[in-house]
Every structure is written in structure tokens, then in C-alpha cells.
Amino acid sequence: MTKFTSFLLIAICAFLCNSAQATSTGKELLQGEARELAWYDCPANSEAKRRRPRRFAHCRCMQGFERDEEREACFRTVYLTVNNLSYMQPFSPFLVVVHNHYAPKLFVPGMPGPEGLGAIAEAGNTTMLEHVYSMDDNVLESFVGTNVPANANGTIEIRMNSDYPLVTIAAMCVNSNDCFVALNGAPIYNGAMYYEPAWDAGTEMNNELCTHVPGPACAAGTGNARTEMGEGFVHVHRGFQGINVGRTDLTEDELGANGEPLGSMYDWRNPIMLVSMSDAMM
């Protein structure tokens, strides 16, 4: 064999051997994909009943979790008990969202809130944000929870699993311009206790006039207009300071239901709300 022929053979082999290798890698990949498709990984908080489950039907939910055939998933029920800790600030019905870490935050302190936060904080109107969250793939459920009755604890029932471990809730303090209470993506676990401050949505100036406050401190029909000049960012609420006490130039609609300017009895100190979580109804 000449030097040239052996060089030629080596060159041909190098080419063929390489491409053969490439083909076999390709085949393995395809087989691998096919294998994965045949497998059905049991979803969060469940385990396989058989060695090779092909469907959710062959998975079993872990203790304390219930099957949801429609969503092919296992969920746990958790009860949130909301305590209103204030003297004279009732809460409006709550926006309730169960979600994962990718869902947008309800708010970032120091930044403007999303569109729709003002509606909750100024009027207790959850419609817009409830809709926005219900359209989001990172959200398990989004609904409007029960009102927290005066002088009692309100209980909100939610579903969760380890794919959706966080909850956001929000409601208005109704004797205010734009005060709200919230859990802002709180981890859900049995025994959790969250003491929360009141927040100012930053969408309305705190003029403390009944023409701009919807709550029972004001007579029905006095209106709930939005003031100009909101602060522009979410911050810890400065409280209800009774800034109009002593004024004699207020219109009838601007006065409280008792005919006086709204006073500092509607004020509070933080925390204003306690949320306790439990696996069992309390």
C-alpha cells in the first residue's frame, strides 16, 4: 500500500465513522424522547401506584391531598382566618389569588401599584385584578372571598399544592380614601400567622372627606369620587388623622354620617390585620 492510499483510507474512515456516530446519537435521542412520552410523571403531591404510570389514573395523592380529575392534579384545602384588629375600619370583600412565584406581585412597596389596585383601595372593587389574575397561567385560582364580619373572624377557603404555594389577598379599609390590607404572595403552610400593616395605594390624596370615602362612617349617597394628586406609590399608610376636625366650611356631603367631620376614631395602629392559616377549619 502506498502512503497515499493509506492516507485516503484513514480519511474515508474518519468521515464515515464520524457520521455513523452522529446517526447513532440521533437515534438514541429519538428513542429517549419516545420513552419520555410513554412515561407519565405523577404531578405534584402525588406518587405512582404502579411502577410505570401511564396516566394520572395510576397516580395516588399524598395524604391530606384530594384528587382533581379534571386538572389531573392533587390539591389540599387550607383555611385562612382573617382577623380585623382595628377599632373602626371594616374590610371590604377580599380578592384572593393562589399562585406560584412567577405570578405578578400585587404591589412592590415604594413603587406605583398595578392598574386595578386603586379600584380595590378606593372602592373595594376587585373586578379588574380578579380578571387579570384569572387569565394568568401562574395562578391556580382567583376569586372574591367572603367579607370579614364586624367583630368576628372571617374564614376564606383556598386550594393549593407545591406547584402553587403562595397566596395574595387584598381588601379596602372602607373608612378611608385609599387604604388597603393585603398578603402579597405569602407562603401557605399549616400554622402560619401573618400580622400585616395597612397600605396606602398612592392613587388618591387622603383628604378624609365623605365625598371621597365610601365607608359606613359616611351617610349613603355622599359619593366616593377619586381625588386628584395621589402620592404615586404604595407605602405604609399614615393613618386616619382627623385633619378636618374643627373646620366649619365643609358641605353636608363632606361631613360624616353624624354630621361632624370624620375624626381620628377611624385611625389605627399597625398591625391592622392578622391572617392565620390552618389545614382544619377553625
Ligand X SMILES: *[C@@H]1O[C@H](CO)[C@@H](O)[C@H](O)[C@H]1NC(C)=O
CA atoms within 13 A on the CB side of 208: 17
83 vs 138 by CB, closer to ligand X: 83
Binding residue for ligand X, selected from 45, 46, 92, 125, defined by CB under 6 A: 125
Please check whether residue 99 is in contact with residue 133, taking contact to mean a CB–CB distance below 8 angstroms.
yes
Q: Round to whole Å and give the CA distance between 6 and 12.
A: 10
**Considering only 50-58, 87-95, 157-165, 184-192, which stretch makes contact with ligand X by CB under 6 A?**
87-95
Judged by beta carbon, residue 61 or residue 210, the one nearer ligand X is 210
Q: Which of 239, 152, 151, 155 is nearest to 198 (CA)?
A: 239
Q: How far is the CB of 268 from ligand X (least distance, A)?
A: 9
Of positions 8, 17, 150, 236, contacts ligand X by CB under 6 A: 150
- Residue (100 or 224) nearer to ligand X, CB: 224
Binding-site string for ligand X from residue 37 to residue 76, where x marks contact by CB under 6 A and - marks none: ----------------------------------------
Using alpha carbons, list the distances in angstroms from residue 12 to 6, 16, 275.
10, 6, 74
Going along the chain, which residue ranges are E strands?
Answer: 46-48, 59-61, 66-68, 73-84, 95-99, 139-144, 154-160, 166-172, 179-187, 193-196, 199-200, 235-236, 273-278
Residue 127 binds ligand X, judged by CB under 6 A: yes
Q: Give the nearest distance from C-beta 198 to ligand X in angstroms.
A: 12
Only segment of 6-14, 21-29, 125-133, 259-267 that touches ligand X (CB under 6 A): 125-133
Considering the rule CB under 6 A, would residue 221 count as an interface residue with ligand X?
no
Q: How many whole angstroms separate alpha carbon 260 and alpha carbon 248?
A: 9
Pick one of 60, 62, 83, 233: the residue that binds ligand X (CB under 6 A).
83
C-beta closer to ligand X: residue 81 or 138: 81
CA proximity to 97, closest of 34, 160, 20, 37: 160
CB 187 within 8 A of CB 160: no
Q: Which stretch binds ligand X (CB under 6 A): 13-21, 54-62, 83-91, 226-234?
A: 83-91
- Cell matching residue 125: 372593587
Question: Does the footprint of ligand X cover residue 86 (CB under 6 A)?
Answer: yes
By CB under 6 A, name the one of 46, 84, 92, 244 that touches ligand X: 84
By the criterion CB under 6 A, which residues form the site for ligand X?
A: 81, 83-90, 119, 125, 127-128, 150-153, 276
